[in-house]
Structure 1
């Protein structure tokens, strides 16, 4: 992501709210409060919530509005140090060794010092996040931490405690200034208390209808106003049904975008049935909604919006 010149961190909760709003993020005061404290105290912010509620977007907005680099560590099962922290460029090292041997250099200590230098170090997201200068520390997004195993989670404890990494061949590399750390989890497993204690915590919930309409309207400005209201009302009702995976805010935005691309000004039974795959990602959920639920929900949405004027 391209960033502008680094900005001064917000000095109050109200300024934090304004910062989020300037990046197009519709947040509440509770989020702004914990984010302000996280920035002020230089503590990681641990965001928990269902997929699609806007946790990752917070880090992206911070990067954009503060003019900081965004460094993203996308977590997955089996993530290891070589993928997350650093590794050596072995191919380039071998070429250097062969060239030294061909040149007649016999001092093995000098050769080793040469090949295990910064020149051949490949920096992965963790090491990159520790390389920021004072006043320009990056936003470090550790996304979906719950997808990794406990061993990697334990490794992060040193990073989040001291903001340093030890590379045996080079020594300890410590951040000149701690990065702005945002950790997200979809709660597919519990994260250990030792890691949570190093963070400030916030649960990111689904927004109410009013806030979600503001989000959708901001993200899909070309959508018809009536269509946006119906989309939000329909999705809000879907979340009250026991589905395998209810749609998040991201799906609401996608649905409004898709319907706008189809030149729809309002919902109708046919277009709802045809586009449910934008909202729902499991066939069992789609089949359940198509078998009468969608007509009932749409009828209720139309009636309630008509009564509201």
Structure 2
């Protein structure tokens, strides 16, 4: 489980990303990272620890640019103590690509071997997110055929990622000189939402793991990214979306509603708070039916997210 965030704005995004990651801190406390883009150049800072500990004023000053991505890490693959596995991950070919990922690839070892033997790419960490980054990079290179990148090539590359990768992945990425890309696996296992903020200078876009980040940052929730869908905001601020999976089945992780998500979030159109209340009501009704003669003195919330 991790938290991801991507912003395209009309002014510097470093503070938006910092504040957004603070709101998503419950999704990962082991590492945090922010990357921004300005004039085709990436700026990045990441490290182990909480958001407030990783980023200082000097770091924030260096994160210039009007678009960027952020990540908070809860390690479920790779090493929990290796600062090199903090995200976003970067690869310089093709075009320059940064990626942050929430989820787990179930075929990461197979893909790593495939990357080395067929795609001639080296994976330097045990993180499945670095594997995913290199799969996307290879598919972008294949789809663009060495020519100028366009939206059709980007969506074709995401379709290639869907064909090769298995498991859960919600992704935000930046492609140097082109824009912000976000996509969700064909099963929609991990959440991803889209928000918009219209200003006098133009429209601003935000994608995040949970809608609560949009609320805090002043963005209007538009919708969820659909399973298998990719959304792209180019450097001109134009929004594009396309279904990139041959087949989709909506199968979200129930643990989001039970434990992971904040209660004030809305995931796939469902209030997390209301879903937890209904689960509690269902359990109470079941207890009354199956154990009618048992007198219950106390109810203990385990985990604490079951507390109303």
Q: Which has the higher helix share?
A: 1
| Greater relative CO (CA pairs within 8 A, separation 6+) | 1
Question: Same-fold call, TM > 0.5?
Answer: no
TM-score, with length taken from structure 1: 0.24
Larger Rg: 1
Q: Which has the higher strand share?
A: 2
